[in-house]
């Protein structure tokens, strides 16, 4: 019976890990820009994942993200500054 428990726990852990978003971490040589990109990433994860899975930054072009953010700004209740930070993060790669 013990083996089953281990297998079930193992499956559960694997499941948890596979749900983790593999969003890239930004890296910029400029410290203040790095700070802003990280803030944008945090805002993106906290504001944009409540209704649907996060879309990968590479799914849309710069222009595409501008349009998507325009559509989602109201839904996510973000202000213009937050929108800009999210946009900068999404298009920095």
Nearer to ligand HEC, 34 or 73 (CB): 73
Residue 72 touching ligand HEC (CB under 6 A): yes
Nearer to ligand HEC, 22 or 50 (CB): 50
DSSP secondary structure string, 47-93? HHSSSSPPPPGGGS-HHHHHHHHHHHHHHHT--HHHHHHHHHHHT--
Nearer to ligand HEC, 12 or 56 (CB): 56
Q: Read off the tokens for 59.
A: 């799914």
Q: Distance between CA atoms of 77 and 32, rounded to whole angstroms? A: 25
Binding site for ligand HEC (CB under 6 A): 47-48, 50-52, 55, 68-69, 72, 75-76, 78, 86
């Amino acid at each position: 019976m013990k083996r089953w428990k281990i297998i079930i726990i193992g499956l559960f852990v694997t499941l948890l890990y596979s749900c983790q978003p593999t969003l890239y971490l930004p890296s910029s040589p400029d410290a203040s820009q790095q700070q802003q990109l990280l803030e944008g990433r945090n805002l993106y994860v906290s504001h944009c994942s409540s209704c649907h899975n996060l879309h990968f930054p590479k799914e849309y072009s710069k222009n595409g993200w501008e349009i998507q953010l325009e559509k989602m700004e109201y839904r996510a209740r973000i202000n213009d500054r937050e929108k800009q930070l999210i946009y900068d993060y999404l298009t920095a790669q």
